[in-house]
C-alpha cells in the first residue's frame, strides 16, 4: 500500500475505490496490531477476506460465477425460510 501511495501520489491513490477499500482494511489491521487490546476490532478481520474480491477485476470467469451466485441467493434464501417454517410447524 505504501508503495502505491508513493508511486501514484496520495490523490492518485484514492481515485481507485479498490485502493480506498484496501487502505481502510490495512489501516484498521495495523491499528489493531498496535493496540493489541483484543476488543471488538478482531471482528474486522473478516473484512480482510473481502480483499479477495479485488481479483474479480482480473478474472472474468470469477466475475460471472459471482453474478450467478448473487442471483441464486434470493432463491436459496426463500427455500431456507420455507424449510425453517416447515421445521417449526411440524416439529
Residue-wise pLDDT tens digits, 25-69? 788 777 777 776 655 555 566 666 676 777 777 888 888 888 898
pTM summary value: 0.44
State yes or no: pLDDT of 12 exceeds 70.
Answer: yes
Residue-range domain boundaries for the chain? 1-54, 59-91
Q: How confident is the model at residue 4 (pLDDT cuts 50, 70, 90)?
A: confident
Higher pLDDT, 29 or 15: 15
In order of 9, 18, 29, 61, the CA distances from 58 in angstroms are 23, 13, 25, 9
Higher pLDDT, 54 or 76: 76
* pLDDT recorded at residue 40: 55
In order of 74, 86, 87, the CA distances from 26 in angstroms are 32, 44, 43
Amino acid at each position: 500500500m505504501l508503495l502505491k501511495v508513493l508511486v501514484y501520489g496520495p490523490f492518485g491513490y484514492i481515485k481507485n475505490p479498490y485502493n480506498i477499500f484496501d487502505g481502510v482494511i490495512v489501516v484498521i489491521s495495523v491499528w489493531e496490531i498496535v493496540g493489541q487490546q483484543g476488543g471488538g476490532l478482531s471482528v474486522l478481520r473478516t473484512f480482510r477476506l473481502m480483499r479477495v474480491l479485488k481479483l474479480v477485476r482480473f478474472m472474468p470467469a470469477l466475475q460471472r460465477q459471482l453474478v450467478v451466485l448473487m442471483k441464486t441467493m434470493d432463491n436459496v434464501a426463500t427455500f431456507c425460510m420455507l424449510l425453517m417454517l416447515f421445521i417449526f410447524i411440524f416439529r
